[in-house]
Amino acid sequence: MANLASFFNALPGAVSQGLIWGIMAIGVYITFKLLDVADLTVDGSFCTGGAACVMLITSGYNVWLAILAAILVGMMAGLATGLLHTACGIPAILAGILTQLGLWSVNLAIMGMKANQSLNVSNHELLVSLRYLQDVSKGERPIWQHPIFVAALFTLVLVVILYWFFGTELGSAIRATGANPNMARAQGINTNFNIVLGLMISNGLVALSGALLAQYQSFADINMGRGSIVIGLAAVIIGEVAFSHIFHNFGLKLAAVSIGSIIYYVVIQAVVSLSEINTNYLKLISALIVAIFLTIPYWKGKYFAKPVKRGGSSHA
Amino acid sequence: MKKVLAVAMTAVMGLSLAACGGSSSSAASSSAASTSAPASSAAASAASGSGETYTVGICQLVTHDALDAATQGFKDALEEALPGQVKFDEQNAANDPNTCNTIVNAFVADDVDLILANATASLQAAAAATEDIPVLGTSVTEYGVALNIPDFNGTVGTNVSGTSDLAPLDQQAAMIQELFPDAQKVGLLYCSAEPNSEYQVNTVAGYLQDAGLEVEMFAFTDSNDASAVTQSACDYADVIYVPTDNTVASNTGIIDGICQPAGVPVVAGEEGICAGCGVATLSISYYDLGVTTGKMAAKILTGEADVSEMPIEYAPNFTKKYNPTIAEALGITIPDDYEPIVTEEEPAA
């Protein structure tokens, strides 16, 4: 099958895209799973990161500085949501929506009141780019500039840092806040502070992911974050369903989120490459993928669980 | 136990990297094959003009009349130039710029002979993805802006070329003055999410200000606040101008519903919008634009022309058109050199 061959050729691109979105998904994991807050800021802060990164690079700043700035503005978006939630008493989901709404204008302002800012890959040295996929395979660039390698390295470093951080007293306090806020307060933890901090870390990661994606695709677009929360949740859920039985360590759980994101993008790429399906149905297919991954564990428990004796579960 | 898992995890990562290494080397060999292909195909077409088949990937940002017409014109022109020799792989990103990456990635992996990128985000994704496969854009207004090329001189010079949907903005500004000589204030209505609109309204505003008119920008975010912004534009302006804006194109009903009762005429940048809510427009046919792009593609595929030397081309001709229904309702007399817009028209080939 020619289609199958083209799908395998397209895999590196799909995997690198999955890895880049995986960083965003780890951000979503922090709010959704650890803090137990549904944070919708993501749709806005993803674009904020991309916009800040593209604008700084095109103004001649260093790539690393641009990425750092992207993380910082993302954290500020998280701070805004956090303060709206804790200081102003707005329910978390609404606070996120408000920030997301406001960020639309902020993002336009960052991009010089334009909806789309382009980053010419021929004129700037970037960390990741769709172009580098071809350059590496042609041997024009060293293998370590392959987007998969760069994005995987970013993910690995982030997982290590987050693993360390959530083991510290401060990180544990964030986890305790999400697990049981009343108990956490009883232990003398300032839950409001921890919610704000968690939202800042999460949105910093989301903006970092946006900055990498903007470099990867060579442009920042006002619409680029739209619907990203769905991709983030999909990655979290796919990662959890696929690996929850074997990954118990916290660091591995974070890695599972990233792998979940890769799976998501490989499936999407398969749909585009293999089938004759009209790509207008892509969103419906995305919804189906997530629904399937949510259904499998439920049905497995309900219909396929063997009526074994107590204690028999250890056979696996 | 944890260590076992860690090892398993590393193995998975390693495997995925190895898989990619393998496939990228095969991509290398296929791209090597493709570099020789155009040369041989050029020779073949020079000799007999037949035999070779080509695959063309089409990445269209969103489905709407103008972009659909451009894609159709492209396909028709290419079919005519190379009958039966071109296989089209048509994909639509459903207005999600991120999906363009996935689509273009599949084209590049497939090693198609040419990519048609319909609308700005498609062009940006395609230009980022490959520097070997020829990329032709269409329905893109300004290539220098879209690809971040400083001091753009009309030729991109890489593997990218294409056609621009820019109708002459100075003539559009002149049209506003010609039709509404008494107008003092012009409102420029557009969607802030549209990369091309900003450029157009600024340029038109410049021409109008030079002519001594007052102008003000009215930008809306999406269809949800379109009516509120249109209302304030109506309150301000004697005439409203809308550029070739995709969001406006989808919301002409809202704009017409507010402007017509208020008695404020709308001059549109494009025929589809004018048919919905405008009085008059300087029209380009997106179908003709697609045909022009298709002819460029045929030259590239047969090896007759080098994409890096091809300048951006524009629509072949412009027509002054008006919307008889709205013009009549507002009691506006239209000069004789304007053609009425016929609803349910097929774009003239």
The answer to whether the Cβ–Cβ distance between B192 and A122 falls below 8 Å is no
Q: Is A269 an interface residue toward B (CB < 8 Å)?
A: yes
Q: Which of B3, B87, B105, B110 best probes binding to A when mutated, by most A CB atoms within 10 angstroms?
A: B105
Assign residue A89 a region (left: φ > 0; alpha: ψ between -120 and 50; beta: otherwise): left
Predicted pLDDT of residue B43? 40
Report the DSSP pairing between strands B319-322 and B313-314: unpaired
- Show the low-confidence residues of chain B (pLDDT under 50): 1, 11-49, 345-349
**What does the pLDDT read at residue B346?**
43
Percent of chain A with pLDDT over 90: 62
The pLDDT value recorded for residue A311 is 58
Element housing A220 (H / E): strand A219-221
- A2-115+125-299 to CATH, choices 1.20.1450, 3.40.50, 1.10.3470, 3.20.20: 1.10.3470
Interface test with B, best of A118, A248, A250, A262 (most B CBs within 10 A): A118
Q: Which residues of B251-262 are buried (b: 16+ CB within 10 A; e: fewer)?
A: bbebbbebbbee
Q: Touching check for A72 and chain B: CB below 8 Å?
A: no
Paired residues of A248 in beta bridges? none
pLDDT tens across A27-37, in order? 999 999 999 99
Could you read off the pLDDT of A146-183 as tens digits, one per residue?
999 999 999 999 999 999 999 999 999 999 999 999 99
- The pLDDT tens digits of the residues spanning A276-291 come to 777 778 778 888 888 8
Separation in Å, CA B125 to CA A52, A124, A141, B42, B225: 19, 16, 20, 28, 29
Does B24 sit within 8 Å of A133, measured CB to CB? yes
| A218 contact residues in B (CB cutoff 8 A) | 124-125, 127-128
pLDDT at residue B340, rounded to an integer: 87
Q: Do the Cβ atoms of A9 and B111 come within 8 Å?
A: yes
Instruction: Examine the pLDDT at A212 and tell me if it is beyond 50.
Output: yes
Residue B80 C-alpha, separation from nearest chain A C-alpha, in angstroms: 25
Contact assessment for residue A25 and residue A231, using Cβ atoms and an 8 Å cutoff? yes
ipTM score for this prediction: 0.74
pLDDT of residue B28: 38
Query: pTM of the prediction?
Result: 0.76
Write the residue in A115, A139, A146 that is nearest to B193 by C-beta.
A115
Q: Is B229 on the interface with A (CB under 8 A)?
A: no
| Per-residue pLDDT tens over the stretch A235-278 | 999 999 889 888 889 999 999 999 999 999 998 888 887 777 77
Contact of B246 with chain A, judged by CB distance below 8 Å, is answered with no
State the Cα–Cα distance between residues B166 and B164, nearest whole angstrom. Answer: 5
> Minimal CA–CA distance to A24: which of A133, A155, A161?
A155
Residue B315 neighbours by CB distance under 10 Å = 21
Q: Which residues of B touch A246 (CB under 8 A)?
A: 5, 8
Name the residue of chain A whose CA is nearest to B3's CA.
Answer: A249
The arithmetic mean of pLDDT across residues A195-199, rounded, is 96
User: Where exactly are the structural domains of chain A?
Assistant: 2-115+125-299
- pLDDT at residue B14, rounded to an integer: 46
Handedness of CA A236, A239, A243, A247 (dihedral sign): negative
Rounded average pLDDT over A189-210: 96
Q: What pLDDT, on a 0 to 100 scale, did the predictor assign at position B235? A: 87
More confident residue, A72 or A132: A72
Among chain B residues, CA nearest to A103: B221
Residue A1: pLDDT band with limits 50, 70, 90: very low
* Mean pLDDT, rounded, for A184-194: 94
The fraction of chain B above a pLDDT of 90, given in percent, is 35
Chain A residue numbers touching B62 (CB-CB < 8 A): none
pLDDT digits (tens, 9 = 90+) for B176-212: 988 898 889 999 999 888 877 888 898 899 999 998 8
Return the pLDDT at B170.
84
Is 60 exceeded by the pLDDT of residue A18?
A: yes
Interface of B with A in 306-335 (CB under 8 A): none
* Residue A283 to residue B94, Cβ atoms within 8 A: yes
Domains of chain B from N-terminus onward: 52-165+288-314 (3.40.50.2300), 169-283+318-340 (3.40.50.2300)
pLDDT computed for residue B10 by the predictor: 52
Asked if the Cβ–Cβ distance from A130 to B125 is below 8 Å, we say yes
Residue of A nearest to B12 (CA): A259
CB contact under 8 A, B16 and A148: yes
Report the greatest alpha carbon distance in chain B: 86
Across the range A47-76, mean pLDDT stands at 95
pLDDT recorded at residue A313: 55
What pLDDT, on a 0 to 100 scale, did the predictor assign at position B37? 40
**Rounded average pLDDT over A208-233:** 91
